[in-house]
Structure 1
Amino acid sequence: MSNLKCIEKAIGKLTYNALLFKEIMVLPTGANSFEEAMQMGSETYHYLKAVIFEKYGSRGCNVEENGGFAPNISSFTKGVDLAKEAIKRT
């Protein structure tokens, strides 16, 4: 299990779902090098896509202009749960 940490940021409503948050930032705090941090981030991104697909199907994997996911979820807690599941798989 990696040493990734999930940090929530309240930035304002800029996505197409019901959340008041724009993003959940995941930091690879356990990485020993830049390369390892990039790998951890990339793996988490792809695991997150898989988690969203498993729970919400292909229509749940909406990708915003900046490359972030915007699943149609009803609460911030559900978003954090998705991120936590992706981190566990990394």
Structure 2
Amino acid sequence: MRSKSTLYILIFLLWTTGESIAQCAMCRATVENNINTGETSVGAGLNYGILYLFMAPYLLAMVIGYLWYRNYKKQKSQKTKVQHL
């Protein structure tokens, strides 16, 4: 069961990698175009977007880790209750 879910996660990550790499050229072209026309506000917005994309996987990992920890503690407390009976 565990190896099956790991395989699904790995396939999902490999599947989405190509789409994220393709966006780099689009962002660069947008920034270069806006700098050439004298507009600099897009660069600041792009920086916030980069920070958002940078933090999203870490936040997701923290949420998954917390849920895993909470589930582990719940299972452990249930086992100790059964042993005391």
TM-score exceeds 0.5: no
Relative to its length, the structure with more helix (as a share) is 2
Relative to its length, the structure with more strand (as a share) is 1
Using structure 1 for the length normalisation, give the TM-score. Answer: 0.29
Structure number with larger C-alpha Rg: 2
